[in-house]
Structure 1
Amino acid sequence: MRTPTEPAGAPGRSAPAPHDLRHHGDAEVRDAGADLVDLAVNVRSGTPPAWLKERIAASLDSLAAYPDGRAARRAVAARHGLPEECVLLTAGAAEAFVLLARALREGAPGTGRPVVVHPQFTEPEAALRDAGHEVERVVLPERDGFRLDPALVPPGAPVVVVGNPTNPTSVLHPASALEALARPGRTLVVDEAFIDAVPGERESLASRVTELPGTTVVLRSLTKTWGLAGLRVGYVLSDPGTVARLARHQPLWPVSSPALVAAEACCAPAALAEAERAAREIAGDRAYLLERLAEFTGLRPATPDPRAPFVLVRHPEAAALRERLRGLGIAVRRGDTFPGLDRRWLRLAVRERATTDRLVRALAALGVC
């Protein structure tokens, strides 16, 4: 049985639909005109921590000098047990998607069109389309909990993009399923922007980018765990040849000195230990959120085992519910801008338990059942 988004004769694949690929969670709270409880943006609350702000502030004394990324690059490489030549520092993961899209115009091995596995973060597809690529979507079915089935990906796809854990579904795909997509003549791109919110960073391919067949590219962001969305810092991990090819599409000094200082600081052992503690706290807060949401029979999580710092839920009147929650001072992320989803879906950021309780009180006041 095909899902509603699948065309006949192509299980799991869909033609492009008119989704707003440039809509992101910050739009739910930007220019709101009132203070809203933010359950729309997936940045850990209470960040950046004081020690990190102090490190960044201290870097301002060096702004007269051009940025030097060598120390940050060494720190990232050491953090993942890779040679420095396997690291490319970027102005956030979003820049990395643009670099990939541009570099792929030089010609990628294999036949067919780049494949983006949906539902997922929409910026990779937007960047590919902006660069002139004709993108094919593989839509994971809701009936399978939006879990990755490698068999749905066309064997001749030269490029495959997938998130892990996936935004917005909160599904953590097994590393073995991702590895099944790696093959000679293919570039496998894995967006691990939220993997540091998974205790132990289970299922990550970061340390294995040079070991798998074909080309593997892993993208990381410091935005989510450390609260650095405004600083713009992330990085790419891949083989040295791919890193060099992507770097040729960057402008000079693409990452600012404060961002480089932050990247180096967040790779220190103490910072990694703090991130691990935060991941475990998020897991506890997420379990509490799911427990409270279970009080409402009409709210159904997309997966019984979410692993990211957010939960995707389905409700028959989700679009109206989002507006009504906004009227009570709570912002949640609409789901219909993600290919594979529609107006019945909402994404909720995991917050501390007091905020979850406020959400539950609002849902009860709205008569949600």
Structure 2
Amino acid sequence: MLERYGHGGDLRTAEEAYGKPEMGFLDFSSNMNPLGPPSVVRHILREGWRDIVQYPDPAVRELRSKLSAKCNIPMESILVGNGAAELIDLTARVLKPQVTGLARPSFSEYEEAVHKSGGGIYNIPLHAQHQFVLQQQDVEAAQTAVDLFFFGHPNNPSGKLISREVLAMLKQGDHPCVLDEAFMDFVPNEQEHSLLQHAAESQCLVVLRSMTKFYSIPGIRLGFMVAHPDLIKLAQQLQVQWSVNYLAQRIGTAVLEDEAFEISSRQWLQEEKPWLIQQLEQLGLDVVHGEVNFLLFSFPVSMGVTVKQAQQHMGRQGILIRDASLFAGLNERYCRVAVRLREDNCRLIAGLHTMLSDLTQNRG
């Protein structure tokens, strides 16, 4: 199983499974911006090695200052971490929920973090007939059973945003809520959807952001949390010392200044995602029209194809796709793929066409 450790992008496992070198795969299983990393990252890695003899700033002041200015929120409401994964775990340990309301399907690390902190889970189902959009009545029904909500916004694996009606309810502060906005950078007019600024002042809202997806630096590990200063202080007390290394701090500070990269990334996605949706639907696949840089789709029952069959066939072709049936709430027909550059996307479509022809022909 390619998702042996719970994620896509595991090239070492792919190498073991399919006998190809790690760099011999076209990876659609992880959702990185194919335009990145920004060019400034290469310069920092080339020149910054001289400075790793120094300890990093334990308060991450320069990067927090840049984030404060860019997001228009106070520095004392920002905590930088070793990727969003650290912050998901840290938030659960700070809040210590007894019962957390999770959307199904959603990112598995929410549940893992809650269990590690000793809490239980209340399932809030997302339905295909609603394009996996969180429904207000389901959130309202869960309020009496949970003491924390933990939602992806946009959600992974569906790529769908939380509706304005549900966001308005969460902003009221009746229930503590954590919003994972790891992919919000990819959303057009993100300021209209993000609750970053509200979280900086609210006693009941935490917003998490990843910097690895949009800037394509997953090997660096970088993310940040926005919350009321009182909660940030509690999180700082539990955070491991030197969590954010020197190179990560320098890279994070530099990429935030690259406005040209941000503009070109959003232009690429605006052009490429509709094209890829159209191509997938022309193959007869049922595509969820998400807001970000990945797409969830399913193989119709009539095809008789499962995602595990598809993943094996595609892997032998050197193309990695995500088995979305591993997300609680999805069945064996669901798959997730990243949106990449046109040449790569053409290879994906050609590979899927070959796979569907072979598997349906064999079934017949």
Q: How does 1:136-285 map to 2 (within 5 A)?
A: 136-153=122-139, 154-156=142-144, 157-184=146-173, 186-201=175-190, 202-211=192-201, 214-268=203-257, 271-285=258-272
Amino acid at match of 1:208: H
Q: For the Cα contact (< 8 Å) 1:39–1:348, is it kept in 2? A: yes
Could you say which residue in structure 2 is the equivalent of 1:87? 78
Alignment match of 2:65 (pick from 52, 74, 82): 74
Deviation at 1:29, TM superposition (A): 6.0
Query: Do the aligned residues in 1 keep the contact of 2:200 with 2:226 (CA within 8 Å)?
Result: no
User: CA separation in 1, counterparts of 2:343 and 2:53?
Assistant: 44
| Mapping of residues 1-369 of structure 1, within 5 Å | 22-27=5-10, 30-32=13-15, 33-34=19-20, 35-68=24-57, 69-105=60-96, 113-153=99-139, 154-156=142-144, 157-184=146-173, 186-201=175-190, 202-211=192-201, 214-268=203-257, 271-297=258-284, 299-301=285-287, 303=288, 305-315=289-299, 316=301, 317=305, 318-368=307-357
Q: CA RMSD in A?
A: 2.0
In 1, Cα distance between equivalents of 2:168 and 2:179:
10
TM-score w.r.t. the length of structure 2 is: 0.87
Aligned mates of 1:141, 1:31 — CA distance in 2: 31
SS in 2 for 1:312: strand
The answer to whether the Cα contact below 8 Å between 1:38 and 1:331 also exists between their aligned partners in 2 is yes
1:101–1:127 Cα contact (<8 Å) kept: yes
For residue 47 of structure 1, report the CA deviation from its aligned partner. Answer: 2.4
Please state how far the C-alpha of 1:118 moved relative to its aligned partner.
2.2
- Give 2:163's aligned amino acid: P
Alpha carbons 1:313, 1:346 under 8 Å: kept: yes
When structure 1 is superposed on structure 2, of 240-249 and 20-29 the one drifting more is 20-29
Separation of aligned partners in 1, 2:274 and 2:266: 12
Offset at 1:53?
A: 2.1
| Residue range with higher mean Cα deviation, 45-54 or 221-230 | 45-54
Q: What amino acid does structure 2 have at the position aligned with 1:150?
A: Q
Q: Which runs of 5+ in 2 are unaligned?
A: none
Shift of 1:46: 4.4
* Matching residue's letter, 1:205: L
Describe the SS at the equivalent of 2:207.
strand
Q: Structure 1 pair 210/233, CA: closer, same or farther in 2 (3 Å)?
A: closer
- 1:101-145 Cα deviation digits (max 9, x unpaired): 11123xx6xxx6111122111111111112211121212111111
Aligned residue number for residue 9 of structure 1:
none
Query: Retained in 2: the 8 A contact 1:199–1:280?
Result: no
The structure-2 alpha-carbon separation of the partners of 1:28 and 1:167, relative to structure 1 and needing over 3 Å to count, comes to farther
Contact 1:117 1:162 in 2 (8 A): yes
Letter in 2 for 1:147: V
What is the rounded CA distance, in whole Å, between the counterparts of 1:29 and 1:349 in structure 2?
A: 19
Question: Using the alignment, how far apart are the partners of 1:272 and 1:173 within structure 2?
Answer: 27
The Cα shift of 1:21 comes to 9.9
Helix, strand or coil for the counterpart of 1:248?
Answer: helix
- TM-fit CA distance, 1:246: 1.1
Larger % of helix: which?
A: 2
Counterpart Cα distance in 1 of 2:356 and 2:93: 49
Instruction: Specify the SS of the correspondent of 1:294.
Output: helix
User: Which residue pairs with 1:13 in the alignment?
Assistant: none
In structure 1, C-alpha distance between the alignment counterparts of 2:67 and 2:29, rounded to whole Å: 29
Do 1:21 and 1:338's aligned partners in 2 also have CA atoms closer than 8 Å? no
Inter-partner Cα distance in structure 2 for 1:56 and 1:44: 19
- The TM-score with structure 1 as length reference comes to 0.86
Q: Residues 39-65 of structure 1: CA distance to partner in whole angstroms, max 9, x if unpaired?
A: 111112242122222134433222222
SS of the residue corresponding to residue 25 of structure 1 reads: coil
The letter for the 2-side match of 1:289 is L
**Matched position secondary structure for 1:362:** helix
